[in-house]
């Protein structure tokens, strides 16, 4: 039997509507309009699309946005100067530096320079530390979107064997941390795999919930999936055939119980969670005044 589709489109619409309602409430109570500043360095076409989508989503949710475009030859110091200005601007609540940055820029220094109170991507080491300790200020957008997808589709994580393939700081690591935390939407038994994992198919076949974020088109085949598993495909690979995930969707959907498509799955949730984080940042800054 073919797997049921986990629909990211309708969920993202729901999450965005919730954010818009909460923003409207916040503006009514405080007179403050949450504002996200996006910084885009260079002319990477993918990044331009992502930033434009984020801007549009803000507008629809009643969140103000600023767009800061810098040329591709920008130096680390020039970018740090802009980040410092945005950190000190009381009208800016969230700061997003679109990755990847051009090679000459020290990415780590830039991400560490963003005020932890405005770090809506949750990349700052202070925020990462808080997430690990289970007292987050912001949750990282893509893993948080996946948690919401599992929770709102009544997919239990407590005691489940979750296998995360990929150990990036943006997806794999924070995903594993969120699902192993105590409490609702956590309590999973989590295994993290990467390019050095021995006998990957044996590990992925042990997963009740398989989450794949490796950036390799159609890498996960049907024989790597336990029958009846839930499969979450984070991959977004631009190929000649269009956007494809890390999972061989047509084959795996015949084995899995539930599966996310690409496009139309996880990708849409990331922007929705960014709206929630921008509002959370505005709230934080309002209460710390």
For the annotated catalytic residues, the residue numbers are 54, 98, 121
Instruction: Single out the segment in contact with ligand NDP by CB under 6 A; choices: 24-32, 76-84, 151-159, 209-217.
Output: 209-217
Comparing CB distances to ligand NDP, the nearer of 26 and 219 is 219
Contact between 214 and ligand NDP by CB under 6 A: the answer reads yes
Could you say which of 42, 136, 143, 235 contacts ligand NDP (CB under 6 A)?
Answer: 235
**Residue whose token pair is 């498509």:** 261
Instruction: Answer whether 96's CB lies under 8 Å from 37's CB.
Output: yes
Residue 190: how many other CB atoms lie within 10 Å? 22
The CB-of-264 to ligand NDP minimum distance in angstroms stands at: 11
Closest chain position to ligand NDP (CB): 168
Q: Which CB contacts under 8 angstroms, 24+ apart, belong to 68-71?
A: 68/37, 68/38, 68/39, 68/40, 69/40, 69/41, 70/39, 70/40, 70/41, 70/42, 71/41, 71/42
Contact between 270 and ligand NDP by CB under 6 A: the answer reads yes
Instruction: Answer whether 48's CB lies under 8 Å from 54's CB.
Output: no
Comparing CB distances to ligand NDP, the nearer of 83 and 193 is 193
Q: 260: buried, middle or exposed (CB in 10 Å: 19+, 13-18, 0-12)?
A: buried
Could you say which of 135, 196, 198, 289 contacts ligand NDP (CB under 6 A)?
Answer: 196
Comparing CB distances to ligand NDP, the nearer of 200 and 251 is 200
Could you say which of 6, 147, 236, 281 contacts ligand NDP (CB under 6 A)?
Answer: 236
Could you say which of 47, 48, 53, 168 contacts ligand NDP (CB under 6 A)?
Answer: 168
Contact between 111 and ligand NDP by CB under 6 A: the answer reads no
The CB-of-158 to ligand NDP minimum distance in angstroms stands at: 25
Contact between 53 and ligand NDP by CB under 6 A: the answer reads no
The CB-of-255 to ligand NDP minimum distance in angstroms stands at: 19
Instruction: Answer whether 92's CB lies under 8 Å from 35's CB.
Output: yes
Instruction: Answer whether 96's CB lies under 8 Å from 36's CB.
Output: yes
The CB-of-172 to ligand NDP minimum distance in angstroms stands at: 6
Pairing of strands 230-233, 161-165: unpaired
Contact between 146 and ligand NDP by CB under 6 A: the answer reads no
Interface residues with ligand NDP (CB under 6 A) are 142, 165-168, 170-172, 193-197, 200, 213-216, 219, 234-237, 266-267, 270
């Amino acid at each position: 039997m073919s797997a049921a589709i986990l629909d990211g489109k309708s969920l993202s619409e729901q999450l965005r509507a919730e954010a818009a309602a909460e923003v409207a409430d916040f503006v009514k109570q405080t007179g403050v309009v949450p504002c996200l500043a996006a910084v885009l360095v260079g002319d990477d076409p993918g990044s331009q699309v992502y930033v434009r989508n984020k801007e549009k989503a803000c507008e629809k949710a009643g969140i103000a946005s600023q767009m800061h475009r810098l040329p591709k030859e920008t130096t680390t110091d020039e970018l740090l100067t802009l980040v410092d200005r945005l950190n000190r601007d009381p009208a800016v609540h969230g700061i997003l530096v679109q990755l990847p940055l051009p090679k000459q820029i020290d990415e780590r220094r830039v991400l560490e320079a963003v005020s932890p109170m405005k770090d809506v991507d949750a990349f700052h080491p202070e925020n990462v530390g808080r997430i690990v300790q289970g007292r987050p200020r912001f949750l990282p957008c893509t893993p948080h979107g996946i948690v919401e997808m599992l929770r709102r589709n009544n997919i239990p994580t407590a005691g489940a064997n979750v296998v995360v393939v990929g150990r990036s700081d943006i997806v794999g690591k924070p995903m594993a941390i969120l699902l192993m935390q105590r409490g609702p939407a956590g309590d999973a038994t989590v295994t993290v795999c990467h390019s050095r994992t021995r006998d990957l198919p044996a590990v992925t076949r042990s997963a009740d919930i398989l989450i794949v974020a490796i950036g390799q088109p159609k890498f996960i085949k049907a024989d790597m999936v336990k029958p009846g598993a839930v499969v979450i495909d984070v991959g977004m690979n631009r190929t000649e055939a269009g956007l494809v995930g890390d999972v061989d969707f047509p084959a795996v959907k015949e084995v899995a119980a539930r599966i996310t498509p690409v496009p139309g799955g996880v990708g849409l949730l990331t922007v929705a969670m960014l709206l929630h984080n921008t509002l959370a940042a505005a709230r934080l800054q309002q209460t710390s005044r």
